[in-house]
Amino acid sequence: MTGLAEIVIALMLVVAGIFGLVGSVGLAKLPDPMTRLHAPTKATTLGVGGVLIASMLYFLVFEGTFSFHELLITLFLFLTAPITGHFLAKAWLHRHGSPADLPPTGGARGWASYEPADDRRRAPADAPRRHED
């Protein structure tokens, strides 16, 4: 039982290390800012998640204590990584991109990120106007 757990933990640590390294190599090597956003937000998050799960297994099997901390940290990191990526992409769009670079939305309205603030509040022309004060 402990032998099997040892193998599983060692395997998870190695895989997590490879994922973490791949994420950071991607951050260093990929050609432009928006492709660089891919590597750390996905691969590194998966790598650190693997380390945390390995740590949880280790303390469960060898120390006999079950701790929720790792699950909490994993959940927190997995929830916050997409938010971080979204914010950074949005900041890049407003600093370096332009609406002309984006494909058409296929609807009556443009991309929400580029609409002026008072435009965003307005309902589409065919929908009944919502009362605002």
Partner 1 sequence: MIGPALYFAFASFGLALLLNLWRAVVGPTLGDRVLALDTMVINAIALLILYGILEGTAVYFEASMLFAMTGFVSTVAYAKFVLRGSVIE
Which residues of this protein are in contact with partner 1, per CB under 8 A? 6-7, 9-11, 13-14, 16-18, 20-21, 23-25, 27-28, 33, 36-37, 40, 44-45, 47-48, 51-52, 54-55, 58-59, 62-63, 65, 67, 69-70, 72-73, 76-77, 80, 83-84, 87-88, 90-92, 94-96
Nearer to partner 1, 108 or 112 (CB): 112
Nearer to partner 1, 36 or 122 (CB): 36
Shortest spacing between CB 119 and partner 1, in angstroms: 17
Q: Is 12 exposed, middle or buried (0-12, 13-18, 19+ CB in 10 A)?
A: buried
Say how far apart CA 60 and CA 9 lie, in whole Å: 11
Nearer to partner 1, 83 or 123 (CB): 83
Shortest spacing between CB 87 and partner 1, in angstroms: 4
State which H helix or E strand residue 49 sits in.
Answer: helix 45-62
**C-alpha dist (Å) from residue 74 to 1, 25, 81:** 25, 22, 11
Nearer to partner 1, 17 or 99 (CB): 17
- Contacts of residue 20, defined as CB under 8 A and 6 or more positions apart, other chains included, come to 43, 44, 47, 48, 51
